[in-house]
Structure 1
Amino acid sequence: MEEINYGTTAWMLVSASLVLLMTPGLAFFYGGMSRQKSVLNMMMMSFGTLGVVSVIYVLWGWSMSYAEQSIGGIFGNPFEQFGLNGAIYDGEGEFLLADGLPVIVDVGFQATFAIITVALISGALAERVKFGTWLAFAALWVTFSFFPLAHMVWGGGLLSDDGPFADMFEGVGPIDFAGGTVVHINAGVAALVLALIIGKRQGFGKTAFRPHNLPFVMLGAALLWFGWFGFNAGSAYAADGMAGLAWVNTTTATAAAILGWLVVERIRDGKATSLGAASGIVAGLVAVTPAAGSISPVGAIALGVIAGALSALAVGLKFKFGYDDSLDVVGVHLVAGLWGTVAIGALATETGFLYGGGIGQLVVQTLIAIVAVVFAAVVTLVIALILKPFGWRVTIEEEHSGIDEAEHAETAYDLV
């Protein structure tokens, strides 16, 4: 019987814990960007996601993502390992993956990805959405959008190395190291669709919605960066050189993205801001996520600086086109996620065209990005419309007085 690899098991447990920390970190990041009267609701959307998605993942999420029986290459059979049947210790021995990692450890690691992906979407909906409707959306969306895309990319489905896109060019297959399509394009598209369906906050375009606590934002960005080492380096599934490469690329791309964002701010606005630095951190982390294991550290610099600049420019599109992406989920996660996924076609050291690999990788990366965009858009639209009769928004009066008081009977700061 194959033995447990204790080194890999320890590394993956640490990585899972780091990724789990990202969701409370996101709560601080989004909470600080919100206004004082809505900070608790914004943070509760992340913590509520933790509650809903963690339970669902144990019941059918793992099975839909990684069951051996694939339904059309789109999702796994949800009943095959329902309740983690076949994934836990059975009294005779551990269920192990090929590298000696207990399956139950991988369950924990993958669950944290599902949690943070859903929580990311909430930033587009600040200050106007009923908490109960958000939780219902979280349950439906993780089931019908996240789990299928995870299966398609990582579970041997349509967008994996076993799918049709792997046969288009010899020696070239789809690359998504840690979630450019599954996490960031998926969440970014969902955020855009919801912002369009639910509508703008009262006063959007007329009122200045300023962050109420920039130190919270900086703290949240720091926690996200720290947790992201579990996200990217953990996706190497071993404490080895590949994990080291992902760690260095994650740091380098993120640092470069800060500079890219701040240069754009300086040229455009005349000032480099702390909010811009924090947002640049997230843009760099997003862009390097799919590419962390396939590019060089020098390539990570180019990837990151362009990601920071693109996202800094993209966050202003909501005012031009009139959609209220409250905390810039679309401008950061969708734009940087698309850039990071497609840029692999140029920057991958083995197959990118800048390294003599031809255009095959670029074509494949572009196609899987398009499929992810279309899939996430259609699924999110259907779910948003299904929930619309139940009520997405709080009343105008509740929005004006503060969603914290209306939805949670609390305030973040007792000033009486």
Structure 2
Amino acid sequence: MTALNSTHDPARRSWIDSANLPEADFPIQNLPLGAFVRDGIARAAVAIGEHAVDLHALADSGLLDAGSDAAIACEATRGGTLNRLMAMPPRHASALRAALSDLLKSDAPQRARMQAQADALLPRIDTLELRLPCEVGDYTDFLTSLHHTERHGRYKGLADPLPPAFKSLPIAYHGRASSLRVSGGDVRRPHGQYRDTNGQIVFGPAPALDFELELAAWIGEGNALTQPISVDDAHAHIFGYSLLNDWSAKSIQWFEQVLGPFLGKSFHSSVSPWIVTSEALAPFRKAPVARAADDPPLMAHLHGARDRQEGGLHLELHADLSTRQLREAGHDAVRITHTHLDNLYWTFAQMVAHHTSNGCNLRSGDLLGSGTISGATDAARACLTELTNAGRDPLRLPNGETRTALEDGDEIVLSARASKAGAVSIGFGECRGRIAPAFAFASREAGVAA
């Protein structure tokens, strides 16, 4: 099992009061990493309570022992991305985590020196200009919820709603890394071709826009081309996790999809700004849900004793919807999805093992999406398409509004929480995005705006 250490101690508290609140996403037991912009320069940071520590300033502070793994790790974050740190052996990030935990704990011997570092301790996180935590070279999105896959197969009228390969391997497609964006801001409604209600093929702003609640894994150390990663070694190659909203233009996607998703997915994907490290999640490891007795046997490269013991997480995930009318009336967002990571048929270690089984090389900073994490219950449906049975049963909101797809001004906020008896629960922060109207599309042939 993954070893616990002093950074996981449930009795440990921080001298930063907001980190000790019962529902804090970022208590001292979490310490997720991210990046922000300060005076026009990208810098790396660690979140603690409602604040953050500037790792560039920490490296200059003299608070870390020169030449130590922690100091080397901190130096690796200069430049404002985490790629160099992620590529290092895990002991470096672990040492930095331990050093920060010791500096931020309530009885820290160096508390006064740390508090005196005005440049190191940043103001509230919600005042920072956050950015993607690292440079993402490649993005792969999986399809690993049996319930999500089965429902969509039924909506499409397939005789067998599950693809033949679904229970034999983790299905995936190669996504578009260039349109990954950090949480917040507008998600612009895309243009594309789709079949309208009369069956005609038209081009215009996508009418069926949807969210998809996912968890994403960030690759730490990569692998050499031709050298696969075994399923039980895969955990060591996962640096940490963030929330992912794989925004989908279902009208475009369902018309164009032959080789896989393309323009219906590539216009925007939102990721939460903080990477919750694999080490921070160690107390919440659990066995994944057992496969059904009549499922196909696992291939040897997808079966690992460690993965069967701790390949899952005690992790609940949520999606909230806010509309323009709800906000103008002063109402809170409405929770529309409550699901659990148990609803994935495949583990992240199996995703990594399968991804590399043909010799494909993963690189530090690569992002792997879980696919939509839908469960069997109505509340666990993790996209609007499922929540409305492909538009046949509109979602009804408390103010009388209904939705079969996202409208301009609608905002989706994803959140997640890892909890287990005897451990301090930790969160992931928000993954937020608001739908903005499509831009006018200039037609060169007609010379008019569509």
- Normalising by structure 2, we get a TM-score of 0.29
Q: Considering Cα pairs closer than 8 Å and 6+ residues apart, tell me whether 1 or 2 has the greater RCO.
A: 1
Query: Which one has the bigger strand percentage?
Result: 2
Q: Give the TM-score normalised by structure 1.
A: 0.31
Rg (Cα) greater in structure: 2
